[in-house]
Amino acid sequence: MQIKYILFAFLVCMIWGVNFAVMKVGLLQLDPYIFGLLRFSIVLVVLLPWLKIVPGAMFKLFVLGMLIGGFQFVLVFLAMDMTEHVSAMSVVVQMNVPISLILAHFFLNERMSYWRTGGVLISFAGVVIITLEPEILEEGVVVLLVLSATTLYSIGVIVMRKITAIPVFQTQAWISFYSVPVFVIMTLLFEENQIAQVMNMDMVVISSVLYTSILSTIVGYGGMNYLLRRFPVTLISPFMVSVPVFATISSVLFLGEELSAKFILGSIVTLSGLGVIHLRDWQLKRQAKVLGI
């Protein structure tokens, strides 16, 4: 893997990691559902040329839009609006990896090895350590919201495995198409003064919305798809461990968060578990290549 691709992979992960702090900055002035509505509306407008009917796959795209788009992000934006510990939530979000593995074991017959099972258990132990922090325990509802969102995303991954032939921008366009009505309903039901909020946005909030829409969603997902089309998943996946690292750094720099020893320990344990999962996959891939399997 050439150095330019390695640097690009880290760039995508940095974009996603910094997005946690950027999102929180925007949510300091905007209600969560109007923020989500703006995000998906912008993505839909940009990706409108890719919004084309896919015969035989529209129901799956609808389900995917609800899982990975609307329903997941309703929980994500609400959790990010409520939390005061963005860095901790960025680590909890990474639980989508072991949750996806567990679901794939039962629904895709992708059996979990002892290595993967061990990595999953280590990751869960790390999250437990983080959530036992007294300040995080006070945000137990937020942790449950984030875990629920990651579970929805993981279920969406199972659905996505069934429609891998659809280009990523076309998939993302339909996810945004189905997500916009969800956020319209949620903001009308639970929020007020939406027009005033939008009209009073300053450059910081506008930049936050554009970052999450253009950079995080379109560039981030598009960039990751670009890499996955050229390299094996097992080669790209390890880079994802750096996402919460970038999220933590940006949370400290931009939000003034303080990191406790228990948070650092829990993060190391969680990332170690994810590392075990990715490293073993990478080793198996290398062995298969050497043996010509």
Average pLDDT over residues 162-172: 81
Q: Max CA-CA distance within the chain? A: 64
Q: Specify the pTM.
A: 0.81
Per-residue confidence at 287, pLDDT binned at 50, 70, 90? Answer: low
**For residue 177, what pLDDT is reported?**
96
Lowest mean pLDDT among 12-21, 28-37, 128-137, 160-169: 128-137
What is the pLDDT confidence band of residue 145, given thresholds at 50, 70 and 90?
very high
Q: How confident is the model at residue 228 (pLDDT cuts 50, 70, 90)?
A: low
CB of 126 closer than 8 Å to CB of 271: yes
**Mean per-residue pLDDT of the chain:** 83
pLDDT at 44 over 90: yes
DSSP state of 30: S
Interval 94-121: pLDDT, tens: 777 677 777 776 776 666 667 767 777 7
Q: How far apart (Å, rounded) are the C-alpha atoms in residues 84 and 72?
A: 20
The CA distance from 171 to 159, in Å, is 12
**Residue 257 pLDDT greater than 80, yes or no:** yes
Residue 212 pLDDT greater than 90, yes or no: yes
pLDDT band at 29 (very low <50, low <70, confident <90, very high): very high
- For range 192-216, the mean pLDDT: 94
DSSP 8-state symbol, 84: S
Q: What is the pLDDT of residue 187?
A: 96
Examine the pLDDT at 31 and tell me if it is beyond 90: yes
What is the model's pLDDT at position 202? Answer: 93
Q: Are 177 and 68 in contact (CB under 8 A)?
A: no
Q: Which residue has the tokens 């890719």?
A: 50
Average pLDDT for 262-269: 79
Which of these, 278, 221, 244, lies nearest to 12 by C-alpha position?
221
- Look at residues 175, 196, 147 and name the one whose alpha carbon lies nearest to residue 47: 175
pLDDT of 30 reads 95
